[in-house]
Amino acid sequence: MDAFSKIIHQAVEAAGKSVVKIERLDANRQVTGTGSGFFFSSDGYLFTNSHVVHKGSYFNVMLHDGSVYPATLAGEDPDTDIAILKSTAFDFQPAQLGAASDLQIGQLVIAIGNPMGFQHTVTTGVVSALGRSLSSENGRTIDGLIQTDAALNPGNSGGPLINYRGEVVGVNTAMIRGAQGLCFAISIDTARLIAAELMKSGKVSRAYLGMMLQQVNLVPKLRSGLELKNKSGLFVTGVERNGPANKAGVADGDIVVSFNDQPVETSDGLFRLLDRDKIGQFQFIRLIRQNRLVELRITPSERVA
């Protein structure tokens, strides 16, 4: 086996036994949809997508060896497309969670899932971009996404995106139909935060700004001229009409660099600052507009489900 293939094989061996096929069942125990997921704790909790489990009454998980176990929904968050299931399974290996903050554009990543019903399918690619925002099928904007060209197909949703060490760096969520190599995963850093709230209360309540963002590097000359500590910022690619950002005066093309005087370099970093205590309270956001710093007052809201 060549060196490149060996790296992929070893990564899949490290994470493969954590991956499951998920069946969503209705009240009559009829299968209404399938997807992927993966165990992240030794007591049977697993990640998947909200759109995989949404409106399901019962759930089954099929392990790598073909055994099937029932699972219950611990909670879901449509805003980030994350859901947590709890299974009675016992013969599995939890995945090791990595850090999406360490990812670099061009880095090798591997997707594992069950596309089109083909169990434990492996695809590879690279990180194409970081900090993407994407409008989901239900119209919600999902922030902080990892863009990759590792092929995803229906059924991959909820499976892990792993690095060469077999550590999970993302939860696969979507691909753009009709496009080639435009696939997306939710940052595992965001997924960790969501999981903690879902396992505690079954739901997530966080402040919301209503912006579509893309992580970009800041050139040294601009950083020096504006006396910024940031090496990167969040480029505003879209502002939701009548949302908090729109009302505050944020515009397409602005680059967000701080929130309440705390530097912001990634969507995950901004997400951590938007806890429920910020809802309905005046905050300050600093951004670059036409090569100068602008500070705006913004009032985050709570997104209505």
Q: In whole angstroms, what is the distance from residue 164 CA to residue 96 CA? A: 12
Q: Single out the catalytic residue among 87, 157, 187, 258.
A: 157
Let me know: does 268 contact 100? Beta carbons within 8 Å: yes
Note if 51 is an active site residue. Answer: yes
Q: Tell me which residue of 302, 303, 299, 284 sits closest to 247, measured CA to CA.
A: 299
> Exposed, middle or buried, 69 (CB in 10 Å: 0-12/13-18/19+)?
middle
Q: In whole angstroms, what is the distance from residue 150 CA to residue 106 CA? A: 12
> 85 in helix, strand or coil?
strand
Map tokens 């293939």 to a residue.
5
R_g of the chain computed on alpha carbons: 20
CA angle, 104 as apex, 255 and 270 as ends, to 5°? 40
Q: Single out the catalytic residue among 77, 79, 81, 268.
A: 81
Let me know: does 269 contact 258? Beta carbons within 8 Å: no
Q: In whole angstroms, what is the distance from residue 13 CA to residue 23 CA? A: 24
Map tokens 């009240």 to a residue.
27
**Six token digits for residue 30:** 């009829």
Let me know: does 150 contact 111? Beta carbons within 8 Å: yes
Q: In whole angstroms, what is the distance from residue 260 CA to residue 303 CA? A: 21
Note if 201 is an active site residue. Answer: no
Let me know: does 100 contact 188? Beta carbons within 8 Å: yes
Note if 135 is an active site residue. Answer: no
Q: Single out the catalytic residue among 50, 51, 189, 267.
A: 51
Let me know: does 194 contact 80? Beta carbons within 8 Å: yes
Q: Which residues are catalytic?
A: 51, 81, 157
